[in-house]
A and B are shown apart, each in its own frame.
Chain A
């Protein structure tokens, strides 16, 4: 670790914290349907949308109607994305003449983008036409993110209200999330990224002669390289802001056309956590107790800071096997030092370490370095961040509602510890809430473990494993961990664009998204009906440092305990082998 690196990381975390309040306050106004400075421009547009879609914005719905709306909307989106991929060869904006995507890959990608996962079994520049990228993928980048934010808004109202029935209107929350939050931020960020050199065009790919020709593996002489083109900036801004993470190009934000400069890198990293962090403040605002929002923010931030610096330290210290071979891995002013395999020199260790941690903490999944090439401990950290259930800021909306589920569990046990039926913000936590919360913490580990087990014992599963030993195991574990958590980042190194992985992965993504969103709404539906339990001296405050640490402990214990045996057979044993 260098001082320079530490300062860069500190600057990043400080910028994130400073932006949380203003953006969070703005989003609270959006969800409470209060006036914002964007109303003169977007108000008429919003009303037009409601008129065209025959939505009555003042009509509120209970949790079931909202859950149905979410499922219908996402299902339609999924079908559209699938169909566009299947017929892209007949559609315009296809200068490279991309063929129809295979059915299993189309299914996987459609699920992936509708669920805000953005797992990519395909390579963008070799598979998708510009129209598919824009109309299918970018559109889903907006609305899948907005869906998650809408579910959160509904959930927060469940907590903010008492003795009520309705949670709000999914259609309105979804529309307002897109119009007032995602769209303006994405436009601004796209323009800034274009200024940094991110491309935005509909041109055919460009062929450029090599300065020095080379030969390929077959011994054929290669004199030209093909540079992929396309409308990248507009997709990249939203893929970062909406914790989607699906790159325009195969190597995602490691590609110079996606992420050309340190400033672009900084802004893209900031965009990953911007909305999830600000939503904590939104939550506090909406429940009329900003301390509650800050407490959750603090719990998330403490886990993140620990993970980021742990990551920086392990990646910065490099590989002892290489040190033994006389490789200089010391950080100096002219040498980034540490483990640079799979990392871009223009970002170096600190910015790669932050990105890798942040992208797995949030359910973003975009990368600027290859996680497969991290040291075993570095890989372990990305896996742990995923295994915590994407609640360290997590996906837009989904991260916070995931964390609130952990809060429910933490409050329940803490309530017992102080001898009082547990309550959170005036809602009694009873058997039904525990049933839903238990379901929510059960689903993800079961999905990941069962599908990983299936893959390591079947021929179709084992076919995708390309690395020997425990590393191969880590790769498969990562595949399902990433998809079941709707993260979408790839450890890479496994060959997973096969019918087996496309199907099982699609399943994991669907379960990870909807099996969690629906019980979450059910939980909100139960909370909203409860009578307000007034605060008294006997009420356990949920904003104190003690509670924050307890919440962190619950998140770590529930996350870490489930996966420790699997991790022992993957990155942990790999680390010990490397140390030997």
Chain B
């Protein structure tokens, strides 16, 4: 039994020897000119490599334009340039492939107990999971992996869905109702289930994930297309620059009266050095790696386009509950009615909440204990009858028979309007001061709970939404990045205002209905903004479909997951912020490497131009500011540097440029300094070092 499934996603596969070997092999497979033609820059390099190879053979046969060893050496490094670029792409693809492979293996290796009829007593065959057809029924028992997506038709069991959701607590799955859907790849911990297969073979959730990991990488994103156009333009210009250099050189030899025209080998070398091979070679790896980073954050994007759009998002719609606030309200204060002591109120509130297992209830017990030293009494210590919350009464509480005393204590707590009706019905009075306190608490965005004993109102419990720690700082970061945060809540505007102010969001939508959400997204989009949101319910689906970046929680309904363009396996609503960062990283990595690549050209000119015309105009050696040893060593150093820099930058391409939450101007300054100015300087040093090394090794 293979226990692995999507767990593979959770622990990123490190680069291992196997992946390197496979990438090496793929680098050669990718030399196929048909696939190379997708990348104009590297295609030109491959053509140049073939051309110099032919020139080398010609030289070997004795009629070369330059010594055979020299042409051969140049050709070899041009081939390396192509292979290095292919290698980076293959390596980036390798991770995704390995992940998909692991997932697929888990599908292949599991077996299913296919029932002859959908009854527990029926006999079954053991078949391989992929053989299950839609409509088949199968049995799962403790320890079994559920083989396919399906619906529980009989039984109740606890299921470990951590492979898909990341949530380690087991969930209950049972026939009928909301909890009847099971996902292939999850594991039954106790009891048994009979499941009817609802997905066609290969159409299950896991299959779609495999497909996404493998398939989405080959589509070019809009920004990548635009960049490719620019790179193609540079390539064409430099192609013309190098091609026209031959007639220029012929003419120069003619007027100078001595020297030899520039060789085709040198022209090809110059061309390859000038065209943006660094970015051209790594472009595809950057895109694939971006996808991969999403996967490692447990987010599956349906397309690279969605990741790119994430970097551009200017509005984040965030659900209040679970994203901005902790899911539960907590009691923070007791406000007694006139003439009632705080202790009495706290005591009654605690008693009323002892049996209340909701987080709100527990927080009341804890508050009473912490603030007024009331120990948490165990339920059995007191003779009490607990009244649970019901939708009819909208109250909960306890009826207590105190020892040695007559008369019951009937304690109730509930929403103020329900309590008011309850008190007045008994002939009691709902004090104005309490009414005022209720309003006061509502106004600051909290929830009031009124506590009463018999027909006497004791006071109000202050239940507060707790804003998550550190969230305000994150919103401030987002604001600095130019991203506006909008809180979506079902609360009334009063409550919403208070929480919005506390959390530091830019705006909020109160009393939000699903159609309000959709309208809000449309309005923002009409204003030219890109909107991101998370959602999980079926009623979120229209808004998810409308949003530019829509992240569905993996725990969400099927329709939500289909409407979204990303699925968060962790079902963590704050993940949206990381998604934005990954999107930005992707664009930044492309931008920095493009700048670096073009900036490199300056030094390469200084290496190659004096060398190319050394025989015609020896005086041009004054441009040889790097003092490279010979014309041959100069050209070789430039070509070798050009090839090696691709390898050197593979880690950056795969990891991405580090994201920093600073303003656009600061980011531009930083990146221009490192990759622009650095890109001008680095090759001067690199080329000189390679030249010195070649001289030291007596290669030249």
> Which residues of A are at the interface with B, using a C-beta cutoff of 8 A?
162, 409, 412-421, 426, 429-431, 433-435, 437-439, 441-442, 445-446, 449-450, 452-454, 456-457, 462, 468-470, 472-473, 531-534, 536-541, 544, 546-547, 550, 553, 557, 561-566, 568-569, 572-573, 576-577, 579-580
Contact = CB atoms under 8 A, between A and B. Distances in A.
A505 to B, nearest CB: 17
B665 A568 contact: no
A416 to B, nearest CB: 3
Interface in B225-249: 225-227, 229-230, 232-233, 236-238, 240-249
Nearest to A467: B255
Contacts of A566: 241, 244-245, 248
26 contacts: A416-B590, A417-B671, A419-B587, A420-B584, A421-B587, A431-B226, A433-B226, A434-B229, A435-B229, A438-B232, A454-B247, A456-B247, A469-B255, A473-B252, A534-B528, A537-B482, A538-B483, A541-B664, A546-B668, A561-B601, A565-B241, A565-B609, A566-B245, A568-B609, A573-B617, A579-B622
A456 B311 CA distance: 50
Nearest to A429: B226
Nearest to A451: B244
Given A453-B246, A534-B529, A564-B605, 4 more contacts: A429-B226, A431-B225, A470-B617, A537-B481
A538 B477 CA distance: 11
A468 to B, nearest CB: 6
A456 B256 CA distance: 14
Contacts of A430: 222-223, 226
Given A421-B308, A453-B244, A546-B669, A538 B595 contact: no
A565 to B, nearest CB: 5
Interface in B337-380: none
Contact of B314 (A415, A538, A540, A546): A538
Given A453-B248, A534-B527, A413 B229 contact: no
A310 B599 CA distance: 24
A431 B222 contact: yes
A409 B255 CA distance: 39
B385 interface: no
B378 to A, nearest CB: 55
B613 A540 contact: no
B484 interface: yes
A452 B245 CA distance: 10
Given A450-B244, A452-B244, A566-B244, A573 B619 contact: yes
A450 B246 CA distance: 11
Contacts of A470: 252, 255, 617
Contact of A537 (B230, B479, B605, B669): B479
Nearest to A573: B617
B617 to A, nearest CB: 5
Contacts of A450: 240, 244
Contacts, number: 214
A558 B526 CA distance: 37
B663 interface: yes
B667 A417 contact: yes
Interface residues of B, number: 78
Contacts of A457: 247, 250-251
Interface string B420-431: 000000000000
Contacts of B671: 417-418
Nearest to B308: A421
B629 interface: no
A572 B623 contact: yes
A449 B232 contact: no
A441 to B, nearest CB: 6
Nearest to B250: A457
Given A409-B230, A412-B226, A469-B255, A539 B249 contact: no
Q: Is the interface of B mostly helix, strand, loop or mixed?
A: helix
A540 B247 contact: no
A569 B587 contact: no
A537 B663 contact: yes
B638 to A, nearest CB: 14
B585 interface: yes
Contact of B484 (A417, A536, A539): A536
Interface string B593-624: 01100110110010001001100010110110
B143 interface: no
Contact of A550 (B230, B480, B672): B672
Contacts of A469: 255-256
B486 interface: no
Nearest to A456: B251
Contacts of B591: 413-419
3 closest A-B pairs (Cβ-Cβ)? A538-B482, A416-B591, A419-B584
B524 to A, nearest CB: 10
Nearest to A435: B229
A445 B588 contact: no
Contact of B664 (A453, A537, A572): A537
Contact of A569 (B314, B617, B669): B617
Given A417-B668, A580-B619, A561 B588 contact: no
A445 B583 CA distance: 35
B620 A442 contact: no
B613 A416 contact: no
Nearest to B227: A416
Interface string B625-641: 00000000000000000
A387 B332 CA distance: 72
A475 B609 CA distance: 21
B287 interface: no
B609 A421 contact: no
Contacts of A536: 314, 482-484
Max count, chain A CB within 10 A of own CB: residue among B251, B595, B623, B672: B251
Contacts of A534: 314, 527-529
